[in-house]
Amino acid sequence: MFAVLLEQTADGQRYIDWLLSGLGWTLTLAFFGWWIAFIVGVVVGIGRTVQNRAVAVLARLYVEIFRNIPVLVQMFLWYFVLPELLPASLGNAIKQIPPPWGSFFPALVCLGLYTAARIAEQVRAGIEALPKGQIEAASALGLSGYRTYRHVIVPQALRLIIPSLTSEVMGIYKNTSVALTIGLMELTAQARQISEATFQTFTAFGAATLVYLALALIAYQGMALIDRAVRIPGTGRAEDVKPAATRDAQQLDSLPDAMEIVK
């Protein structure tokens, strides 16, 4: 079924090379977009919980705007509208960026800021899930607000929200497909191009689907490893805690026997 991917194209390549090229752009866009989203999301999420009302309002405004506008609309705004709003010289310079970078950078900014709004809510939830005694203890130790967040609150909150961040990591890979609407030849765009060239729609999009599935599974397994590595003791799943409790019970049961031996 996938034999058509090994056939040569008009430019001497193979159709599978088109898919691999699209995969490269998808991975690049998702990787750099994720780090933009993570950094901005953590900052905005912290801003949602601080006592400064002005900062909290601005952080909430950011979240409400970027989270509630569809990512496709945001993609069009960054690509088509932003250059028109900037000064003419700067706008023309942006329009003249050669492809594929002229499409890549707007897509990168769009996905990064859109995903950051979702991560910010995860960070806010993680911070609010911590006991208030954490902040009180830090204050009693003389830590400033900045040091309290940096050394006490944020590290614990990030460890708590890793399972929920998994969906955001997987989501940014899938959202890269929206970039085809502004001309970036990522994985979905290349699959469409193969479909139009060979009329093998099922083969083209079937291969792309398998690649997306593989990326999602890899991302899930990677985040699961990170979660197990940094999990806060006592916050694991019931099936992870149960063996330890069983071992403790067995040790308690063996104490009388050990005491008899000592006697």
Q: Which two tokens stand for residue 181?
A: 């609407």
Average pLDDT over residues 207-221: 93
In the predicted structure, residue 116 carries a pLDDT above the cut 50: yes
The predicted pLDDT at position 261 comes to 44
Chain-wide mean pLDDT for the chain?
Answer: 87
Backbone angles phi, psi at 226, to 5 degrees: -65, -40
105-114, 137-146, 168-177, 248-257, range with the lowest pLDDT: 248-257
CA–CA gap between residue 125 and residue 119 (Å, rounded): 10
Q: Which of 147-151, 186-190, 255-259 has the highest mean pLDDT?
A: 186-190
Determine how many CB atoms are found less than 10 A away from the CB of residue 1: 9
Q: Which residues contact 154 (CB under 8 A, 6 or more apart)?
A: 42, 46, 123, 127
Alpha helices in 96-175 (DSSP H): 101-129, 133-140, 145-148, 154-160, 162-175
pLDDT for the residue numbered 230: 87
CA distances from 217 to 93, 127, 220 (A): 40, 28, 5
Q: Where are the domains of the chain?
A: 7-235
Q: What percent of the chain has pLDDT over 70?
A: 88
| Cβ atoms within 10 Å, residue 49 | 18
pTM of the model: 0.85
Per-residue pLDDT, 258: 45
Write the CA distances from 41 to 11, 122, 132, 154, 188, integer angstroms.
Answer: 43, 9, 22, 12, 27
- Write down the pLDDT at residue 243: 52
**Mean of pLDDT values over 107-118:** 96
State whether CATH 3.40.50.1260 applies to domain 7-235.
no
pLDDT tens string 124-150: 999 998 888 888 888 888 888 888 888
- pLDDT tens for residues 56-98? 999 999 999 999 999 999 999 999 999 999 999 999 999 999 9
Q: Report the pLDDT value the prediction gives residue 262, as an integer from 0 to 100.
A: 44
Q: What is the pLDDT of residue 187?
A: 94
Determine phi and psi for 55, rounding to 5 degrees.
-65, -45
In degrees, rounded to 5, the angle at the alpha carbon of residue 22 between the alpha carbons of residues 18 and 28 is 150
Q: What is the percentage of the chain residues whose pLDDT exceeds 90?
A: 65
